[in-house]
Structure 1
């Protein structure tokens, strides 16, 4: 802690600590050598399974041991076991990895093992004992707790998409939209929540459950609220760009350009405002220039060049990129 007096360790204490560390390392190396030797012998025993637990509690990134653990279950513990016993084993592993994720929330191999466990849950004896449904529902609750702890953990968001796509009973998209709304309203800079929202809308549009243009108009209110709250945060701007690109409505495009120009008056040095205006004005030229003629097109190109010159000053690391766009526009 800051301000706390440090206690100087004696040479004896330092030597004792190093000895303990060396002893732990020696024990770990001996343990891993034993596990790897058992793996080479295709030892599928319960004793070997317990040893993998010990290794993985120390080093959860040891993917070879995770693979060995699954082989022990598949070729050893599951053989001649009842479906109920298999479900119990898998439930225990899900509990074990839940504890591991609390300490190591971004270790891919833990998430990967949970997928395997869920995919190997046997069918229950009936609707009242539907093990698959129970495990998948519980898994969604687990990942929500993980996201409560760290709303921007992209591993958890990716895993959430996997769970939602594979649940025996599909969760209504409306419920997922409500979930992402809560996460976004809690923190507008949650890029993963915006990304999840784009996936949900894409699904709803492709299935015909939502009118694309109407939902885009409705969604723009939420996004503009985020943009106005923090004009320098890229998450809402990137989502806004995706949203506009998902439709081809001139009225919406011109309306958003006007809104961003108003925001730019309040935030004259906002890089994202200026970049977005360039992007949308170029999009307007690309998709709708035939509707308003050469003179307006020339005016839009001139505005884009002016903005790009301003961006070279505001964003020096990308100066050359902006100049390339100026050159492209000048050659148009």
Structure 2
């Protein structure tokens, strides 16, 4: 287990044949790392029952540098801070310690941007920022608290610049935006998602964030829902024609239709997607979306549509999908069976 972690697998690296001596040397080196990690782990865990000293804290730093996924050690590190360091520190000193902690986790994230426990520790640091010892000094502390959250938003934006689809960073961004003492305007966040999507239509996390912001703005009456929904459909059509095989775009389209897709919207979107399918006859996502919306019409508007005709069209699309996507053949057959059974009267 430890050797796998300590010697990470490298992808797209050409392998070279090693001599027996080289293999043996590598084996000894890995064994030494395993022994060092095991000894360090035992040393730290032996202190975890009530040792809140600086020495114990320093040992957690060493161990987490080797294995940042060792969540028990993150928990112990926080206990040392709460029960040891913070007890004897002034609010200014606590701020300084937390600043160091944020710097430490930032360094860890550069090497391990998708480790949950590092992101969790940053959350804890932000939530532990003191408000100040009294009413007179409280505004300055709150100002520092706000600046700490502002810095976090800047940090997470840099992380998303490096990897725009890192869902850990997107989740953390939502957390920061929700927790800021002085919230940022949601319209600004909507503009941020626009920039990310325009840079890469495949950024599902940005589409997901956009759906949350729009839902909130609509619920608060801060955005004309009908007008902005039409603008979203226009954005999606551009994305569909740019890359009709991009799953992220189609998933967002289904969400958007689901927010207010009556018969008129469903039929309009089916027609628009059919035009794209005529140009891209092998587009699986075009076919899947058309059949999805036609099935929705059959389910929700049965009294207003030609059920026989629509059912036949769905069956024909399923046959084409079976040929185009044989790995999911049984799924398409099951959907046809579901449609047939739906039309039968219950016994």
Q: Which runs of structure 2 are paired with 1:123-162 in the superposition (5 Å)? A: 123-124=131-132, 125-129=137-141, 130-162=143-175
C-alpha displacement of 1:165: 1.2
C-alpha displacement of 1:199: 1.1
TM-score normalized by the length of structure 2: 0.87
Counterpart Cα distance in 2 of 1:328 and 1:28: 55
Match status 1:172 vs 2:177: no
Question: Which of 34, 40, 57 is equivalent to 1:31?
Answer: 40
Render the CA deviation track for 1:172-206: whole Å, top value 9, x for unaligned.
11111111111111111111111111111111122
For structure 2, the residue ranges without an aligned partner over 5 or more in a row are 1-11
C-alpha displacement of 1:328: 3.0
Render the CA deviation track for 1:105-138: whole Å, top value 9, x for unaligned.
0111101111111110111534455221111111
Question: Which of 89, 104, 107 is equivalent to 1:96?
Answer: 104
C-alpha displacement of 1:68: 0.5
Paired residue total:
327
Instruction: State the match for 1:324 in structure 2.
Output: 334
Counterpart Cα distance in 2 of 1:106 and 1:329: 41
Counterpart Cα distance in 2 of 1:100 and 1:54: 12
TM-score normalized by the length of structure 1: 0.91
Question: Which of 80, 83, 100 is equivalent to 2:88?
Answer: 80
| More divergent stretch after superposition (81-90 vs 306-315) | 306-315
Counterpart Cα distance in 2 of 1:135 and 1:114: 11
Question: Which of 223, 232, 235 is equivalent to 2:248?
Answer: 235
C-alpha displacement of 1:229: 0.8
| More divergent stretch after superposition (319-328 vs 236-245) | 319-328
C-alpha displacement of 1:298: 2.5
Instruction: State the match for 1:309 in structure 2.
Output: 319
Counterpart Cα distance in 2 of 1:329 and 1:320: 14
Distance 1:251 1:103, change over 3 A: same
Instruction: State the match for 2:72 in structure 1.
Output: 64
Render the CA deviation track for 1:256-285: whole Å, top value 9, x for unaligned.
111101001001111111111111122223
Render the CA deviation track for 1:199-240: whole Å, top value 9, x for unaligned.
111111222222333221111111111111111111100100
Distance 1:209 1:33, change over 3 A: same
Render the CA deviation track for 1:38-87: whole Å, top value 9, x for unaligned.
112x1101111111111111111111111110000000000031111111
Counterpart Cα distance in 2 of 1:192 and 1:63: 26
SS in structure 2 of the partner of residue 121 of structure 1: coil
For structure 1, the residue ranges without an aligned partner over 5 or more in a row are none
